[in-house]
Amino acid sequence: MDDAAKITLSEAELDKVCDKEWILTKQRITEKVYDLLGLHAAAVRQAFAAHGDFFGAEITGSFPKISKGENYLQMPYVMLDYPSVFGRDHIFALRTMFWWGNFFSCTLLLKGHYADTFRESIIHNLQKGSSGIYICIGHNEWDHHFEAGNYVPASEYNMEELGNRSFIKLAIKYDLEKWNEMRWLLEEGAMRLAGLMISPAVI
């Protein structure tokens, strides 16, 4: 491809570069995502505080962090990590993600001693019911797509294999068409994932 072809805009691209409104619309939607995740963080804080003795101060005392980017597999995203503890070898993260053009998701990532602490309860609780929950089978804990090779439905997973993984990653995915219900869906999803860690003896 010559240099002229690289910088020449198609008719559709030229329409977009001259149209400010679609960028302003994107900014407004992104602001609403931030507002939604802020409300979500408040609901999650209350839920985890109710089990503060079980999860411990390191987890319940963490602070919400919202971040965004423009290029996760070429599409913008916004994500909330809360509660979360990130160390080199030990990770606890409840991550809520908006991925433009794709989905919202709630993800629980456990690694190191957090995976060891909650592994038995997660396996036990998933065996009782796992509808709508996915288990990561990939090797990179930072891959968030739901394509083949990264996630499988928990109902199709051999739970014995969960005992051998260096990290545990569970997720629930929501269609963007359900935007107006998303506040409640995300809250329900976060509570489901949190509940998987709680031993029946604690409930």
The pLDDT score that the predictor gives to residue 178 is: 97
The pLDDT score that the predictor gives to residue 36 is: 98
The pLDDT score that the predictor gives to residue 160 is: 86
- Model confidence over 175-201: pLDDT tens digits? 999 999 999 999 999 999 999 998 764
On whether the CB atoms of residues 60 and 44 are closer than 8 A, the answer is no
Is beta strand 134-136 parallel, antiparallel or unpaired with respect to 151-153? antiparallel
> Of 14, 52, 26, which is closest to residue 194 (Cα–Cα)?
52
- Model confidence over 134-166: pLDDT tens digits? 999 999 999 999 998 999 999 999 888 888 899
Domain ranges of the chain: 8-197
The pLDDT score that the predictor gives to residue 200 is: 63
Residues of the chain with pLDDT under 70: 1, 200-203
On whether the CB atoms of residues 161 and 140 are closer than 8 A, the answer is no
> Cis ω on the peptide bond leading into residue 153 (within 30° of 0)?
no
> Cis ω on the peptide bond leading into residue 83 (within 30° of 0)?
yes
